[in-house]
With several copies, the nearest count.
Chain A
Amino acid sequence: MLAVRELELDLDAFEGPFDLLLSLVLREELPLQEVDLAEIIIAFVEHLDGRGELDLDACGEFLVLISALLELKARAMFPEEEAELAELEPEEAAEELARRLAEYRRAKEAANWLRERLDDRRDLFFRIGPAPLAPKAERKLAQQDPEKLAGALRLLAVEPPEPSTGHMALRFPPVSQFLDRWRTLLRRRARFDFDQEVAGLSRVEIAVAFLALLELRKQNEIAIAQAAPFAPIRISRADAERSLSWNVRSA
């Protein structure tokens, strides 16, 4: 019998046997968003085709596995709709899924149209940028108040404050350093406790580390949660929240 789990995969995001991909995904070491599941299906179908016989058991196993992955991925993709999806009746869920599939179909359709269009047009040349002998644009300035000039001059005459050595003790690490650190951590783990990770750092470093978190939140890369004031601050990958609870429930 065809061992589905030994199916060799060569994807953009992963190379190796299907089984390894499954365990990496379940251990949250490989974000499913990066994995093109359609490629896996194609690999399986090609493999099946190569064998020249229909292996029903293998197909069944593959269907179960791939549909689990699909569901996982679907949920990971839409963490913000966690509650919304959970409350859906099967029929509503099916309808929602169908709507999204249709949306994707439309995107594909439109992409095909664009490709044909590009094939027609890409050999046509036009100038990008200014013409060689184009007139130069003149910049015009509104009427100004001469007092502004006196003000600017006075500002230049303001004595600088006495040099302070206070800042010498405060060394601000760059925010980017913590951005890198959090991102690296989040590639390995789907969630962590802030307090644990900053234990032993100076107050300034902790502050900068927190700023980095806010930046990641702004970029929609993470979710930040705190059960109560002064409770541990929990950070999770924006895409991870759902998959965990799904795993727990189905285990």
Chain B
Amino acid sequence: MERPLRLIPTEVTPAAELARTLEALLVVASQPLPVAELSAAAQAAAAEIEQALEVLGERFAEGSSGIVLEHVAGGYAFRASAAATEACARLFEKPVEKGLSQAALETLAIVAYLGPVTRPEITRIRGVNVDGVIAGLAERGLIAEGGRENEFGAIRYRTTPLFERIFGLESLAALPRVDDLGDDVAQIRERLETVAEKRPA
């Protein structure tokens, strides 16, 4: 250390000390840290951790700090404030440099909602070959292989923590429900039946 350790003689409460410890953990972590991990590393109860995180959430908030604490991908992590986006863009690459194609987003959606899911299953839903799209998503680190269907079965894919981070999801459970399309199914069916009736045998 270049600069000598400066001891500042202020009273430090245990809560404030815990908050500092969490700051330290969060600034060196390479991934969002779940409460359980923070609790194990800081040797404090989960309830205390959550309290300290609340304090930190106010200190490191958009509009009052360049460092922002966010609850993402099942844990807590620091990111740059939105106000500093332009400065960051001059120095760093964006997490998703180029936009994602419609095909990539649909495939990603299927993996996120139905994962772990195999390539044939995705093909089935999308109706076109998805090999290239899957390779692209895997290369970007948005999806990863997650075991096989069975010993010799097809590889299954799941989304990664990076996916949750980029899309700002606290967890996959934060994805909105899209199964309220019941009316549509009935309508589609009705139309199909009408067509079927008119088809010459």
Complex A–B touching at CB under 8 A: yes
Tell me the A residues contacting B by CB distance below 8 Å. Answer: 31, 33-36, 73, 77-78, 90-91, 93-95, 97-115, 117-118, 120-150, 152-160, 163, 218, 220
| Cα A158 to Cα B162 with chains together (Å) | 29
Cβ-closest chain B residue relative to A119: B99
> B109 and A125: CB pair below 8 A?
no
User: Does B6 count as interface, using CB distance less than 8 angstroms?
Assistant: no
| Cα A125 to Cα B93 with chains together (Å) | 9
User: Does B11 count as interface, using CB distance less than 8 angstroms?
Assistant: no
**Proximity bits, B7-26, A CB within 8 Å = 1, else 0:** 00000000000000000100
User: Does B191 count as interface, using CB distance less than 8 angstroms?
Assistant: yes
Measured between beta carbons, the chain B residues less than 8 angstroms from A95 are 189
Measured between beta carbons, the chain A residues less than 8 angstroms from B184 are 102, 105
Shortest A164–chain B CB gap in Å is 10
> A132 and B32: CB pair below 8 A?
yes
> Which residues between 93 and 110 of chain B lie within 8 Å of chain A, taking CB atoms?
93-100, 102, 105-106, 108-110
> A149 and B199: CB pair below 8 A?
no
Measured between beta carbons, the chain A residues less than 8 angstroms from B181 are 102, 105-106, 109, 153-154, 157
| Cα A219 to Cα B15 with chains together (Å) | 55
Shortest B168–chain A CB gap in Å is 5
Shortest B149–chain A CB gap in Å is 10
Cβ-closest chain B residue relative to A132: B77
> A126 and B78: CB pair below 8 A?
yes
| Cα A240 to Cα B181 with chains together (Å) | 33
Shortest A174–chain B CB gap in Å is 21
User: Does B124 count as interface, using CB distance less than 8 angstroms?
Assistant: yes
> A111 and B79: CB pair below 8 A?
no
27 A-B pairs with C-beta separation under 8 A: A33-B123, A93-B196, A94-B189, A98-B189, A104-B126, A106-B178, A106-B179, A107-B125, A109-B178, A110-B106, A113-B178, A122-B99, A123-B85, A123-B94, A124-B79, A126-B165, A127-B28, A131-B78, A133-B79, A135-B80, A135-B89, A147-B176, A149-B167, A153-B188, A153-B192, A156-B109, A160-B198
> A142 and B98: CB pair below 8 A?
yes
Measured between beta carbons, the chain A residues less than 8 angstroms from B77 are 126, 131-133
Cβ-closest chain B residue relative to A37: B127
Shortest A196–chain B CB gap in Å is 27
Partner of A114, one of B79, B108, B119: B108
Shortest B131–chain A CB gap in Å is 10
> B1 and A120: CB pair below 8 A?
yes
User: Does B45 count as interface, using CB distance less than 8 angstroms?
Assistant: no
B-side interface size class = 35 or more
- Classify the interface of chain A: helix, strand, loop or mixed: helix
Shortest A2–chain B CB gap in Å is 23
Shortest A42–chain B CB gap in Å is 14
| Cα A163 to Cα B30 with chains together (Å) | 51
Given A137-B92, A152-B105, A144 and B189 touching (CB < 8 A)? Answer: no
> A122 and B166: CB pair below 8 A?
yes
Shortest B15–chain A CB gap in Å is 22
Measured between beta carbons, the chain B residues less than 8 angstroms from A94 are 189, 192-193, 196
Measured between beta carbons, the chain B residues less than 8 angstroms from A155 are 106
- List 9 additional A-B contacts (Cβ < 8 Å) besides A106-B181, A126-B77, A134-B29: A97-B192, A98-B192, A107-B106, A124-B85, A125-B94, A146-B175, A150-B109, A156-B110, A220-B154
> A110 and B109: CB pair below 8 A?
yes
| Cα A124 to Cα B62 with chains together (Å) | 11
Shortest B35–chain A CB gap in Å is 15
Shortest B181–chain A CB gap in Å is 5
Shortest A154–chain B CB gap in Å is 7
User: Does B38 count as interface, using CB distance less than 8 angstroms?
Assistant: no
| Cα A157 to Cα B10 with chains together (Å) | 66
| Cα A130 to Cα B180 with chains together (Å) | 41
Shortest A77–chain B CB gap in Å is 6
Given A107-B109, A137-B93, A141-B166, A127 and B29 touching (CB < 8 A)? Answer: yes
Partner of B112, one of A110, A126, A157: A110
Shortest B122–chain A CB gap in Å is 9
User: Does B195 count as interface, using CB distance less than 8 angstroms?
Assistant: yes
> A138 and B94: CB pair below 8 A?
yes
